[in-house]
Amino acid sequence: MTSDLWDGHDYIARVFDDWVADASSAFQAVEVDGVVVGLHRLRPYAPGLMWYEGLRVATSHQRQGIARAMLDSAIAEAREQGFAELRLATYNEIASHLFESAGFKPLLDIRWWRAPRVEGGEPANMPDPVEAEKLWKMAASSPGFEMYNGVSADLNGARNLEAAELGRLASRGMLRVAPGGRALAGLRRPWSDNVAVAFLAGRGAALRDLLFALRYEADADGADHVTVALPRGHPAADDMRATGYDFANAEDTAFIYGLQLKPAANT
């Protein structure tokens, strides 16, 4: 069904078996006259948060309202299960219009930065969870951190950015910190042979040292490069360029959306 989507490079084929085998998620398909013409997945991934991904409609059945019907069904299911918010990510501008028409609000407009690995330096430190949570005050007050809008730029599942999230990442070896705790990087699961960064905090020399350390880590791990997700217009752009990073592709961008499923509590 997806062989003619995205010029034949759709990722669904690579994850299909894992998605079918994942009992904690709902991987669903739509049939018309006995033929599968649509699919999507709902995945709980954090307290109160449901992730929506993989919405596809066969080219033979597009523009017939199938995608909207599937999306409405997913929203209803997430709401019935008691989740507070449904989040998703997309690269597709047409899909963005669909999600916005269903009430989703944009949380992040992401640009991808990239730098090749570098030999010879020391990778960044990995703090323990207790140490990591103490870094929250520095992170929350660093320039541009508010542009993440309170969520990690992780297209595998955008979690809330808070002290507990730093601790969770540290417990999984997914947080990197500059000497003195003056800059940090939260990692995400990479999609290719690289070190993938979902958010940055810090400024100046400390941040630049950390950006170099990530390139050293890529070399030590045998990875090809480092990829960093930054909100559009983030002030770290100058530090990125100064440490050898550039746009992965000048046209590359991605969006993370959220839909509140429960009314805000009265105060």
User: Domains in the chain, please, with CATH?
Assistant: 6-107+256-260 (3.40.630.30), 111-254 (3.40.630.30)
User: According to the model, what pLDDT value does residue 266 have?
Assistant: 47
pTM value is: 0.91
Query: What share of the chain has pLDDT > 90, as a percent?
Result: 84
Between residues 22 and 250, the one the model is more confident about: 22
User: According to the model, what pLDDT value does residue 250 have?
Assistant: 64
Cα–chain center distance at 135: 21
Most confident of 88-92, 94-98, 194-198: 194-198
Sign of CA dihedral 137, 262, 70, 95: negative
What would the mean pLDDT of 216-220 be, rounded to a whole number?
Answer: 96
What would the mean pLDDT of 25-43 be, rounded to a whole number?
Answer: 94
Residues 6+ apart with CB under 8 A from 227: 112, 113, 114, 190, 194, 195, 196, 197, 248
User: According to the model, what pLDDT value does residue 197 have?
Assistant: 98
pLDDT over threshold 50, residue 267: no
- β-bridge partners, 44: 50
pLDDT over threshold 60, residue 89: yes
User: According to the model, what pLDDT value does residue 93 have?
Assistant: 80
